[in-house]
């Protein structure tokens, strides 16, 4: 791999975004870098294009946190990168419920092993459109990222140049989780279970699905990893690339999909997480229902728990 020119000022920001929140932050970081004289390319991992990394002197990786972990497709993409041989990097993550976990640490370690040099790390709140929590009637951080956080993202990008000039003191890794339930949930959603059990546990309410009658392809088109295929005039979940984001069920306009998030043991952990999130004064939340592929706010009595709406 050829080293980029020392005077090169070109950055590649690689991000994963479904609802657009991570893109907003990536775009603001990009604006900050542009202000500092950098040329910036933005790339959503879902585009699945081949990129020539060695023409960039700086790369950024951004993603939302699911189930206290890095999305599998982000891990796969970063692992497939060639040796970065001194290229500078930064990582930014978004979490809605206020619990970070080790998601950022994992990507930082992978990039460091590829001989890249860290120059920045940022974590912000993001609108938490995670199906597991939405099904329990709660949307965390509904207004995030806020104007203040977007300005923070802009300043982060703008200040990266100064960090690279004077030397950047690497931030410590995020502390480990302190709640046993979270570790159990991480175990239950590990890649082995997702690949060999959960990815085969999606079902259709055939009477509701309009794939055959009206040609609806929303689930196929919205799946970020192309895990849903057409078979016998209906969608099927038969790939091994599922990341358990639940976006197919969330966006289905006919509410025809039943995902593993309906499993009773899953809901026990999700209810616990929702309860803890609501009790956290630093995290905003609103009560919602999923209706025909949309997230709609609902009014509840003061003190009511969202999962009691079911």
Sign of CA dihedral 198, 267, 72, 231: positive
Instruction: Please provide the DSSP assignment of 173-240 as one string.
Output: PPPPP--HHHHHHHHHTSHHHHHHTGGG--EE-TTT--HHHH---HHHHH-TT--EEEETTEEEE--S
Query: Does residue 77 belong to any structural domain of this protein?
Result: yes
Same domain for 218 and 287, yes or no, is: yes
Same domain for 193 and 280, yes or no, is: yes
Helix, strand or coil, per DSSP, at residue 122: strand
Q: Which residues form the domain of 230?
A: 180-309
CATH code of the domain containing 185: 3.30.70.20
Listed range (2-11, 184-193, 213-222, 223-232) with the worst mean pLDDT: 2-11
Same domain for 187 and 160, yes or no, is: no
Q: Which residue has the tokens 């991992």?
A: 45
Residue 100, pLDDT score: 81
Token code pair at residue 221: 């088109």
CB of 57 closer than 8 Å to CB of 87? yes
At 295, is the pLDDT very low, low, confident or very high (cuts 50, 70, 90)? very high
How many Å from the N-terminal Cα to the C-terminal Cα in the chain?
Answer: 55
Same domain for 28 and 157, yes or no, is: yes
> Comparing 303 with 33, which gets the higher pLDDT?
33
Residue 213, pLDDT score: 83
- Across the range 44-67, mean pLDDT stands at 88
Residue 284: pLDDT above 90? Answer: yes
- Across the range 175-194, mean pLDDT stands at 89
Residue 6: pLDDT above 50? Answer: no
At 146, is the pLDDT very low, low, confident or very high (cuts 50, 70, 90)? very high
**Exposure string over 275-304, b if 16+ CB within 10 A, otherwise e:** ebbbeeeebbbbbbebeeeebeeeeeeeee
At 86, is the pLDDT very low, low, confident or very high (cuts 50, 70, 90)? confident
Same domain for 214 and 149, yes or no, is: no
Q: How far apart are CA 99 and CA 277, in angstroms?
A: 9
CATH code of the domain containing 35: 3.40.50.360
**Of 73, 35, 74, 39, the residue nearest 58 (C-alpha):** 39
Residue % of the chain over a pLDDT of 90: 63
Query: Does residue 173 belong to any structural domain of this protein?
Result: no
Query: Does residue 148 belong to any structural domain of this protein?
Result: yes
Q: How far apart are CA 112 and CA 115, in angstroms?
A: 5
Residue % of the chain over a pLDDT of 70: 94
Total residue count of the chain as it appears in this document: 310
Name the pTM for this structure: 0.91
Omega before residue 145 within 30° of 0, cis: yes
Question: How many Cα neighbours within 13 Å face the side chain of 71?
Answer: 27
CB of 116 closer than 8 Å to CB of 89? yes
Listed range (55-64, 133-142, 157-166, 195-204) with the worst mean pLDDT: 157-166
How many structural domains is the chain composed of?
2
Query: Does residue 135 belong to any structural domain of this protein?
Result: no
Query: Does residue 136 belong to any structural domain of this protein?
Result: no
């Amino acid at each position: 791999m050829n080293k980029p020119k020392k005077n090169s000022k070109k950055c590649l920001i690689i991000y994963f975004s479904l609802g657009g929140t991570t893109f907003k932050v990536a775009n603001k970081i990009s604006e900050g870098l542009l202000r500092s004289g950098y040329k910036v390319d933005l790339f959503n991992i879902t585009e699945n294009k081949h990129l020539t990394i060695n023409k960039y002197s700086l790369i950024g990786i951004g993603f939302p946190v699911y189930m206290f972990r890095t999305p599998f497709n982000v891990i796969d993409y970063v692992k497939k990168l060639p040796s970065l041989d001194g290229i500078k990097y930064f990582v930014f993550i978004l979490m809605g419920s206020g619990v970070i976990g080790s998601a950022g640490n994992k990507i930082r370690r992978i990039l460091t092993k590829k001989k890249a040099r860290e120059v920045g790390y940022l974590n912000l709140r993001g609108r938490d459109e995670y199906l597991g929590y939405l099904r329990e009637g709660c949307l965390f951080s509904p207004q995030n990222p806020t104007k203040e956080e977007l300005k923070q993202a802009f300043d982060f990008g703008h200040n990266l140049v100064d960090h690279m000039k004077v030397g950047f003191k690497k931030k410590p890794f995020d502390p480990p989780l302190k709640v046993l339930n979270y570790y159990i949930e991480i175990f239950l959603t590990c890649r082995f279970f997702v690949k060999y059990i959960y990815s085969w546990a999606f079902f259709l309410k055939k009477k509701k699905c309009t794939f055959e009658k009206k040609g609806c392809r929303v689930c196929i088109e919205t799946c970020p990893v192309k895990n849903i295929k057409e078979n016998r005039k209906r969608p099927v979940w038969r790939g091994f690339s599922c990341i358990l984001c639940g976006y197919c069920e969330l966006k289905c306009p006919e509410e025809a999909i039943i995902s593993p998030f309906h499993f009773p043991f899953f809901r026990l952990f999700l209810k616990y997480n929702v309860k803890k999130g609501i009790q956290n004064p630093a995290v905003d939340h609103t009560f919602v229902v999923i209706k025909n592929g949309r997230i709609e706010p609902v009014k509840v009595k003061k003190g009511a728990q969202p999962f009691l709406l079911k």
